[in-house]
């Protein structure tokens, strides 16, 4: 293990792009040094790390891993500790998302969706637990409002996120008082990368009291608050959805 790094250290999974990258920027601006995990987004993660290093040299570490691999959580945490000597925060952001209609869903799809959305977050928390306890640290899981209100044609994804929500509350109970565990459940923040029809987007926003889509910055702000500014909050899942879950 390296000598203990001066700044608090956060490991963010799926940090190379989209919401994960914005979370990285927000935590970095707040003084965290970062471990940026990625799987396929090597170019994006490298560009992000270079930009962050330009702001504050020596503040980022890139680690690649397929979270479906059973040994990935331990390798990631070992890499963090070898480089920084500490781990203060774990942000389980990486997530697979695609439809799985019940009539055609496969076991391979089940395995892929549960691997990133439930299995990896649990075993990352397990691997990180000694370091997080030493740091009196925190975990934030990126859940989804669909864990409570299922999305049509996505039963496996919804079940996996529901498992993550249950895990958030269970670990909050089991890891207290040294480690706090919370979740963030975004509503419409970023449309899926394969696109969403304009009419579908407008119908969704019409059911949102604040009448707009959220932004990745909305999510990142909630993550930072839970990690840094909410010392008496654990076992909670914040809905960052513009009030959408208030309506039917």
3-state secondary structure string, 94-154?
A: CCCCCCCCCCCCCHHHHHHHHHHHHHHHHHHHHHHHHHHHHHCCEEEEECCHHHCCCCCCC
In a domain, residue 3? The reply is no
pLDDT in tens, 188-218: 665 555 444 445 667 777 777 887 778 899 9
| Residue 171 pLDDT | 98
Number of domains in the chain: 1
In a domain, residue 167? The reply is yes
Task: Confirm whether 198 is a catalytic residue.
Answer: no
Q: Pick the catalytic residue: 32, 146, 157, 198? A: 157
Question: Is the entire prediction scored with pTM above 0.85?
Answer: yes
| Residue 246 pLDDT | 79
Please give the residue range of the domain that contains residue 23. 9-243
CATH of the domain at 94: 3.40.50.720
In a domain, residue 248? The reply is no
First to last CA, the chain: 51
List of the chain residues with pLDDT < 50: 194-198
In a domain, residue 4? The reply is no
Which residues face 64 on adjacent strands?
Answer: 38
For residue 7, give the DSSP letter: S
């Amino acid at each position: 293990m390296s000598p203990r790094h001066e700044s608090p250290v956060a490991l963010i999974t799926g940090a190379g792009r989209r919401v994960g990258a914005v979370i990285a920027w927000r935590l970095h601006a707040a003084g965290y040094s970062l471990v940026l995990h990625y799987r396929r987004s090597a170019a994006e993660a490298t560009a992000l790390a270079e930009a962050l290093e330009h702001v504050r040299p020596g503040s980022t570490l890139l680690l690649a891993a397929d979270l479906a691999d059973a040994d990935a959580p331990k390798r990631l945490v070992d890499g963090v500790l070898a480089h920084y000597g500490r781990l203060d925060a774990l942000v389980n952001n990486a997530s697979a998302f695609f439809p799985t209609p019940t009539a055609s869903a496969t076991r391979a799809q089940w395995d892929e969706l549960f691997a990133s959305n439930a299995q990896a977050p649990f075993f990352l928390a397990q691997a990180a637990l000694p370091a997080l306890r030493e740091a009196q640290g925190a975990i934030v899981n990126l859940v989804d409002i669909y864990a409570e209100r299922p999305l049509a044609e996505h039963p496996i994804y919804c079940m996996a996120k529901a498992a993550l929500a249950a895990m958030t509350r269970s670990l909050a109970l089991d890891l207290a008082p040294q480690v706090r565990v919370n979740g963030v459940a975004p509503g419409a923040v970023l449309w899926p990368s394969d696109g969403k029809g304009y009419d579908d987007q407008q119908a969704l926003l019409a059911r949102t009291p604040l009448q707009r889509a959220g932004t990745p910055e909305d999510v990142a702000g909630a993550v930072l608050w839970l990690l840094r500014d909410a010392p008496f909050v654990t076992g909670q899942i914040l809905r960052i959805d513009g009030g959408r879950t208030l309506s039917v």
